[in-house]
Amino acid sequence: MSAGHAHDHYAPSNFGRAFAFGIALNLGFVVAETIFGFLAGSMALVADAGHNLSDVLGLIVAWAGLTMARASPSPRFTYGLKKASILAALVNALFLLVAIGAIVAEAVRRLFHPAPTAGGTVMIVAAIGIVVNGVTAWLFARGASRDINIRGAFLHMAADAGVSAAVVIAGFVILKTGQQWVDPAMSLAVAVVIFWSSFGLLKESVWMSLAGVPSGIDVDEVEAALEQLEGVVGVHHLHVWPLSTTETALTAHLVVPERSSDELLARARTLLHDRFHIQHCTIQVELSDARDSNC
């Protein structure tokens, strides 16, 4: 019997400057949007400011999660704090739910108690928001496909750019028609867009928090691929789970008819890395005539 253990780390790029710039830029915009929202009597602007504030908090949480995930292993945390990035993604998703609830509550109130809105001010401030959110989203675009924590930051900003565009439309309609109900109605549309864009993040972050198999990996396919390795007659005790938002771990027992060399372990590790992007694998090799172990 022999065992093999390997680590191959995907190290996400350092987004520290992107986070710092994005937080500063959006915090300044939140202050401006809140002030002009109240001056213009626009619930759409105030709602968007509230959502942008949740995004600032989300960026802070995502940055903290990314930083903690880089911590070195210790006797108490032998994998380091890698799961901090998963928790950060989950907190970001929850921030979005809170923002949605606040927006819906105030928009419904304004539908029944409408107030005049300065459409021109709404359009100008929201147009600035398109630029602010668009630039911030661009800062995280290159990491969105590899890390759900970074993807959370990207989705927040990309959704906000779309939301600001919707607010511009609301301001234009109010200027042309004088229909004040358009403002809270657009706020409800904003809430729907936010929920739609964030549901996937919420689902995946909860899944990963529960150590579910990361999306994009089929356990049956992994098992079949390992069984097809030359010299392997069976696979059992196969487990796959996320260590962080970017790293996946696997343990498995490979059953062989006769004692094997380290070459089999090397081929198995290469297969898992190249085909399934699994960076941490612990593989135990057993003889087919040996009694099954439950360890």
Is 94 a residue whose pLDDT tops 80?
yes
In angstroms, rounded to a whole number, what is the distance separating the alpha carbons of residues 259 and 246?
Answer: 34
Is 6 a residue whose pLDDT tops 80?
no
Domains and CATH numbers, the chain: 16-209 (1.20.1510.10), 214-287 (3.30.70.1350)
Residue 290's pLDDT band (boundaries 50, 70, 90)? low
Q: What percent of the chain has pLDDT over 70?
A: 87
pLDDT higher at 144 or 165: 165
In angstroms, rounded to a whole number, what is the distance separating the alpha carbons of residues 158 and 141?
Answer: 9
Is 31 a residue whose pLDDT tops 50?
yes
Q: Which of 86-95, 101-110, 198-207, 220-229 has the highest mean pLDDT?
A: 220-229
CA angle 179, 181, 186 (to 5 degrees): 115
* Residues near 122 by beta carbon (within 8 Å), at least 6 away in sequence: 40, 42, 44, 45, 167, 168, 170, 171, 174, 183
Type of residue numbered 279: Q
C-alpha torsion sign, points 252, 258, 259, 261: negative
Query: 252 forms bridges with which residues in the sheet?
Result: 283
**Token pair for 114:** 């409408």
Mean pLDDT check: name the lowest of 82-91, 102-111, 131-140, 221-230: 102-111
Q: What percent of the chain has pLDDT over 90?
A: 14
Mean pLDDT across the chain, nearest whole number? Answer: 81
